[in-house]
Amino acid sequence: MTSHRSAAVLLAGILMGAAVTWAPPVPAGEVVSKETLDAYFRLEWSKAGRQVNGYVYNSSNRRAGHMQLLVEGLGAGGAVLTRTSTSVRDVPPNNRAFFEVPVAEAPSYRVSIVSFDWVEDRLDRRRSF
Mind listing the pLDDT tens digit for each residue in 59-101? 999 999 999 999 999 999 999 999 999 999 999 999 999 999 9
Q: Report the pLDDT value the prediction gives residue 38, as an integer from 0 to 100.
A: 87
- For 54-114, the DSSP string reads EEEEE-SSSEEEEEEEEEEEE-TTS-EEEEEEEEEEEE-TTEEEEEEEE----SEEEEEEE
pLDDT tens per residue, range 113-128: 999 999 987 655 555 4
What are the domain boundaries of the chain? 34-126
Q: Alpha-carbon distance 47 to 109, whole Å?
A: 8
Options 3.30.110.30, 3.40.190.10, 2.60.40.10, 3.40.50.720; CATH of 34-126: 2.60.40.10
User: Is the separation of the CB atoms in 92 and 29 below 8 Å?
Assistant: no
Question: pTM for the whole thing?
Answer: 0.69
CA atoms within 13 A on the CB side of 82: 13
